[in-house]
Amino acid sequence: MSDEKMWSVSPSGEQFAIPLKNEYIVEKERIRALVDQARTEGKEIVVVMGVGFVGAVMAAIVADTVDAAGKPSKFVIGCQRPSQRSYWKIPMLNRGESPVKAEDRKLTRLFHDVSAIRKHSPHPTSEVL
């Protein structure tokens, strides 16, 4: 990746700046802190590679998992390669919007709920592993 800003465009036409390589360090540290906190809380860490049609839904379902006491039991990191074609999914997930459009309103609500309480953390690269 060059030092020149590149853009990813969602199907609706919204543009998102693709992070530069040097920006990954800050994001990696943010994820590390979230993972450390989740481990302290006894949560299992789950990584979903690719947050497209299948991965985004799977990440949301796993992130919504609770233990016997009704507390969230998983912390999910969704990874998507930072390409012009697909990066837009990460910022959409970060603001609680599904990158997958479905007629089922429960799915839309699930993405909003999961994002609102930060049970998952979308990330643009697998470097967080």
User: Residue 19 sits in a domain of what CATH number?
Assistant: 3.40.50.720
Residue type, 26: V
Across 50-95, where does the E strand assignment appear? 74-79
Total number of domains in the chain: 1
From residue 38, give the alpha-carbon distance in Å to each of 17, 31, 83, 101, 115.
28, 10, 29, 29, 15
Where in the sequence is the domain holding 45, given as residue range(s)? 6-128
Q: What is the pLDDT of residues 74-110, one digit of tens each?
A: 999 888 888 999 999 988 888 888 888 877 778 777 8
pLDDT of 45 higher than 80:
yes
Q: What is the pTM of this model?
A: 0.81
